[in-house]
């Protein structure tokens, strides 16, 4: 049970949740295993960890067997609170965005096609991290093999437009057409799975209209708004403007549609350093499932400090949680 877990275990678990490579995942799981108290009340957790360890070992073996050149480079394990994937034609500023917000080693060049493989980095937003993936460019007649799979699996998809370029309208149209050909469209709302086969998958996302600092950018932005119409929201950006760049992490956080919940053991202070990340709209029961890993049936009551209720108010298990709520679970 969670109360017996050591801080080292919880730290390793946080690393596991943030891990982006099979090596990191396995290392974190091995540490969790070493730190897990091996007694009766943690049996379910032990079994769960064993399963995860064996899956992580297999995943790593597979990567090693295939060799670096053969694994699908676009299969990028999610890290942090969600995965944000960039999509754009050459030279629009994709790598500049990732380079400006993360410590990932991206190449920023004045010549196109410098990014041959996707490069993930982590963006910090308050107490969470969000994964941001730099990607190779698409053109009207070339989409790198494997890339469309990432469009479908991403939590958020951002089409990057270049307002310094006279071809910005065509280039954005190219990206939206590639998505439409794979039955993907952007939505300003929550992710929507196709109602019937062949229908559109709606992935949360928007058009980041970069280089708003360039000459003629304002006029191009107006034309772009007319072209895109209701198909996507448009957010202007300049990677050279620190204020606009500083607003991106919050934008990403809103688009990944998750909430941070701080779990509080009865009679103790909440752990404000390490929130549980849940999909927006989750309730107390779903939090219990995340905290107690299969023992959630033991949670019978909860008290909540946060939005819309009096401090410490008792709430039902189906109570919908909000970002930054503090919850005390009673077994
Ligand atoms: N004026 C202007 N240039 C930019 C901006 N962002 C990126 N660039 C330049 O655009 C070029 C391509 O950038 P890069 O990030 O490599 O684009 P990518 O090919 O989409 O990854 C580089 O010369 C950047 O310095 C911006 O906001 N304003
Ligand atoms: Mg690039």
Q: Best substitution site from 108, 165, 243, 248 to test ligand 1's pocket, by max atoms within 8 Å of Cβ?
A: 108
Residue bearing tokens 């062949």: 198
Nearest atom in ligand 1 to 240's CA: 27
Nearest protein Cα to ligand 1, atom 23? 110
The burial of 269, by beta-carbon neighbours within 10 Å (0-12 exposed, 13-18 middle, 19 or more buried), is given as exposed
Q: Give pTM, 2 decimals.
A: 0.79
- Nearest residue (by CA) to ligand 1, atom 16, is 108
Supply 42's token pair. 């943690």
Provide the pairing of β-strand 234-236 with 184-187: unpaired
- Element (DSSP H or E) covering residue 30: helix 22-35
Profile the chain (331 residues) by mean pLDDT over runs of 10 residues. Answer: 75 84 85 88 90 88 64 88 97 97 86 80 95 96 93 97 98 98 96 86 98 98 96 98 98 97 88 90 94 86 86 92 95 85
Phi first, then psi: give them for residue 153, nearest 5 degrees: -90, -15
Ligand 1, atom 17: closest residue by C-alpha: 93
Atom of ligand 1 lying closest to residue 88 CA: 20
Distance of CA 10 to the CA centre of its chain: 21
What are the extents of the domains in the chain?
1-71, 83-256, 257-331
Q: Cβ(202)–Cβ(186) under 8 Å? A: yes
Name all residues whose Cβ lies below 6 A of ligand 1.
Answer: 88, 90-96, 108-110, 112, 114-115, 137, 164, 210-211, 213-214, 238-240
The number of the ligand 1 atom at minimal distance from the alpha carbon of 96 is 15
Give pLDDT tens digits for 180-233: 999 999 999 999 998 887 789 999 999 999 999 999 999 999 999 999 999 999
Rounded to an integer, what distance in angstroms lies between the CA atom of residue 170 and that of residue 143? Answer: 16
In this structure, how many other beta carbons lie within 10 angstroms of the beta carbon of residue 204?
22
Residue nearest to atom 10 of ligand 1 (CA): 93
Among the bound ligands, the one closest to the CA of 244? 1
CA 185 to ligand 1 center in whole angstroms: 25
pLDDT tens sequence across 154-175: 999 999 999 999 999 999 999 9
Q: Are 136 and 116 in contact (CB under 8 A)?
A: yes
Q: From atom 28 of ligand 1, which residue's Cα is the shortest distance away? A: 211
Token match 């107390």: residue? 284
Tell me the DSSP string of 245-279.
HHTHHHHHHHHHTEEEEEEE-TTS---TTSPEEEE
CA–centroid distance, 98 to ligand 2, in Å, is: 9
Q: Do domains 83-256 and 257-331 have the same CATH topology?
A: no
Superfamily grouping for domain 83-256: P-loop containing nucleotide triphosphate hydrolases (3.40.50.300)
Topology of domain 257-331 in CATH is Ubiquitin-like (UB roll) (3.10.20)
Which atom of ligand 1 is nearest to 108's Cα? 16
Q: Which CATH architecture has domain 1-71?
A: Up-down Bundle (1.20)
Measured from the alpha carbon of residue 87, the closest ligand is 1
Minimum-distance ligand 1 atom for the alpha carbon of 97 = 15
Rg of the chain (C-alpha set): 22
């Amino acid at each position: 049970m969670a109360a017996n877990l050591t801080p080292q275990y919880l730290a390793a678990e946080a690393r596991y949740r943030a891990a982006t490579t099979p090596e990191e995942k396995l290392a974190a799981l091995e540490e969790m295993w070493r730190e897990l108290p091996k007694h009766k009340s943690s049996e379910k957790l032990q079994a769960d960890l064993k399963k995860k360890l064996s899956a992580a070992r297999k995943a790593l073996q597979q990567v090693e067997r295939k060799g670096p050149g053969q694994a699908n480079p676009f299969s990028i394990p999610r890290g942090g609170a969600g995965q944000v994937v960039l999509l754009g034609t050459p030279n629009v500023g994709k790598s500049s965005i990732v380079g400006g917000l993360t410590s990932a080693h991206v190449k920023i060049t004045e010549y196109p096609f410098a990014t041959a493989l996707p490069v993930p980095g982590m963006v910090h937003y308050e107490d969470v991290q969000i994964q941001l993936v730099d990607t190779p460019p698409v053109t009207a007649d070339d989409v790198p093999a494997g890339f469309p799979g990432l469009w479908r699996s991403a939590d958020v998809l951002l089409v990057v437009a270049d307002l310094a370029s006279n071809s910005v309208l065509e280039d954005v149209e190219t990206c939206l057409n590639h998505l439409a050909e794979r039955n993907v469209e952007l939505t300003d709302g929550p992710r929507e799975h196709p109602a019937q086969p062949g229908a559109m998958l709606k992935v949360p996302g928007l058009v980041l209209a970069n280089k708003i600092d360039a000459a003629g950018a304002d006029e191009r932005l107006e034309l772009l708004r007319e072209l895109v119409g209701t198909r996507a929201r448009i957010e202007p950006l300049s990677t050279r403007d620190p204020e606009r760049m500083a607003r991106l992490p919050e934008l990403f956080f809103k688009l990944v549609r998750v909430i941070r919940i701080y779990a509080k053991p009865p009679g103790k202070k909440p752990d404000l350093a390490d929130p549980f990340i849940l999909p927006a709209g989750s309730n107390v029961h779903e939090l219990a499932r995340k905290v107690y890993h299969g023992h959630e049936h033991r949670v019978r009551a909860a008290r909540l400090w946060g939005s819309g209720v009096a401090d410490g108010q008792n709430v039902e298990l189906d109570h919908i949680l909000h970002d930054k709520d503090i919850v005390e679970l009673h077994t």
